[in-house]
Amino acid sequence: MTTEMIQTAQDYLTIKENGKNRKIVDIDRLLRNHPSKEIIDFLKTILKEKQIALKDFILADKTKKEIDETVAVMFRVTMAIKIIENGKEVRDVDREKSQGFVE
């Protein structure tokens, strides 16, 4: 896994709140002691927990702001998983740059 891939995954797992950055998960710290497969499994566990929470929020009150927050975290975790699994986004951006689509 390249440094660029790690940074891209971490960007997805970082939320700006009140002018501060809050990490959902600190990928760099996890990579010091765990292989990427374990990190992916951990992120998938977080995703499943968020899916359960989302279902509970929807059943209780469909207007809760926690629904929006949970969906956002689920999206971010899903994107980080995809980056770690295969670096797809990084390769796509590099390909687009080489073709002149992105500056």
DSSP 20-83: EEEESS-HHHHHHHS-HHHHHHHHHHHHHHHHHHHHHHHHH-TT-HHHHHHHHHHHHHHHHHHH
Q: Which residue has the higher pLDDT, 23 or 87?
A: 23
Is the confidence at residue 28, as pLDDT, over 60? Answer: yes
Both tokens assigned to 29? 């710290």
Cα dist. 97→50, 85, 101 in Å?
35, 22, 6
Q: What is the pLDDT of residues 38-58, one digit of tens each?
A: 999 999 999 999 999 999 999
Cα dist. 9→6, 13, 23, 48 in Å?
5, 6, 11, 18
- pLDDT score at 5: 92
- pLDDT score at 1: 78
The domain spans of the chain are 3-93
Q: pTM of the entire structure?
A: 0.81
Percent of the chain with pLDDT over 70: 83
Q: How confident is the model at residue 96 (pLDDT cuts 50, 70, 90)?
A: low
- pLDDT score at 6: 93
Both tokens assigned to 95? 């390909």
